[in-house]
Amino acid sequence: MNASFRYSALFVAVTATLSTAVYADNSASSSKDGFIEGSSFNLDLKNYYFNHDRHDGKQDSKEWGQGFVGVFESGFTQGPVGFGIDANAMLGLKLDGGGGSGGSSILPTTAPNPNKDNLYGDAPDSFSSAGGALKMRAFDTVLKAGDMFLNNPVIAGGATRMLPMTFRGFSLTNTSFDHLTLDAGQVSFDKLFNQSGNGRIGTYYGTLPEGDKSKHMSWAGATYTGVPGMTSSLYASQLKDIWNQYYYDLDYNWAVNDLVSLNPGFHYYHTQDSGQALLGSIDNNTFSVHLGVTVGHQTLTTSLQKVNGNTPFDYIQDGDSVYLDNSQQYSDFNAPGEKSWKLQYAYDFVGWGMPGLTSSLSYTRGTMDLTKATTAADSGYSYYNVDGKDAKHWERDADLKYVVQGGPAKNLGVRLRWATNRGGDGYKAVDHNADEYRVIVDYPINVF
């Protein structure tokens, strides 16, 4: 059975299940909340400082901005079939990041000025966007069409910058069966986190030939939570004329006793070129496994990750759809043929009487033979130098976060993030010797 047929069969099966649920005779599941009564409006204020410090004689990037994200979600009109709307508006303000220091990724970039020593151009003082979606609920199925926030293993909007991503298309979600969520959809455009307008959906690491674009991405999947402590997902997706991608995971939390718990888990992606294969030949199997041990308020996690293929593991441009254990703040450890390991220690300071304060420290190391990587002449991947026979790099990460637990500033979060990545002589990825510092102040407000 070829990959295209497997993808099509799964997509048709899930969509058929969703369609059946829409027309099922189950009046007890009709819309109850009401268009106004079920509505909400949330405002997120995010102040973001991003310092990307390069150590190879290249221009550093230092940006500081203030983001505002307003999200309105209506309820549904009464009756067996209910209708509603979602809407969002975003505004980003530049506080600092011009005069040659832009390009960290939280602010837009313009064409470089030949009269200035500025590799990334000048960021505008502000940028904004707005979007909306129509939605329909029939029994246990919700259909949305328009601009959406998505979050699943094959298409997830980036939420790690000042403003989030949105996607334009349609989605279906069904919860007819206990502990089972079915999900399907198709999108053609995305709005990146540092842009105002929408563009054709693309990939993070691949560069398409001039004039070629993927028309859309389709996906279908299911998530099961019927076993206490266990979550398992199965997804299939197709990025038109680029790849078919399949995903499976299994994550289990087992409480040994009141003090000790174990968390084993597994993530697997298979990516194969499809259609016109605009990025060239792709046959990539990437997996990671982890085991976390929690004793009291501290957790020690170890993970192993392996990329099998001559191209890097790739995913949707600037998104977060990389559900791999060794995807870190700076590097995804996803080079062709790369194998990596990680050790992470996390502590929840509630054990010291400081609820809301959490921390983690990690070290990740990867090795690969880049001489076996597909060259840029044969594919759309040129991110790695293919000269490295015994290529190595490592990353060290530290994360400290505090969330106010009560009072007028409840849910206000302050987060400090630091990453150091260093590569050996054989590892020539872009900016392979760099430090990153991020300071994020996030204040989510539930207006109603």
pLDDT of 329 higher than 90: yes
Rounded to an integer, the average pLDDT of 217-242 is 96
**What's the pLDDT score for residue 186?**
97
Give yes or no for residue 36 having a pLDDT over 80: yes
DSSP codes of every residue in 401-428: EEE--SSTTTT-EEEEEEEEEEE-TT--
97-to-58, 197, 433, 434 alpha-carbon distances in Å: 16, 21, 22, 18
Residues 6+ apart with CB under 8 A from 397: 328, 329, 330, 360, 361, 362, 363, 364, 417, 418, 419, 420
Tokens 């997509």 belong to residue: 11
Using pLDDT thresholds of 50, 70 and 90, give the confidence band for residue 5: very low
- pLDDT tens for residues 106-127? 888 765 555 555 566 678 889 9
pLDDT in tens, 127-182: 999 999 999 999 899 999 999 999 999 999 878 889 999 999 999 999 999 999 99
Cα–Cα distance measured from residue 7 to residue 235, given in angstroms and rounded to the nearest whole number = 9
Mean pLDDT of the chain: 87
| Least trusted range by pLDDT, from 66-80, 188-202, 278-292 | 188-202
Four-point Cα dihedral 325, 331, 333, 337, nearest 10: 150
Please state whether the predicted TM-score (pTM) of the whole model is above 0.95.
no
pLDDT top residue among 90 and 205? 90
Domain count, the chain: 1
**Three-class SS of residue 270?**
strand
For residue 208, what pLDDT is reported?
Answer: 85
Range of the domain at 388: 3-446
pLDDT digits 0-9 by tens, 384-442? 766 778 889 999 999 999 999 999 999 999 999 999 999 887 776 666 788 999 999 99
CATH number for the domain that contains residue 40? 2.40.160.10
* Res. 87 pLDDT band, cuts 50 70 90: very high
Nearest to 229 by CA among 277, 174, 294, 167: 294
Strands (E) across 55-109 are located at 61-73, 81-96
Are 108 and 161 in contact by the 8 Å Cβ rule? The answer is no
Distance of CA 226 to the CA centre of its chain: 25
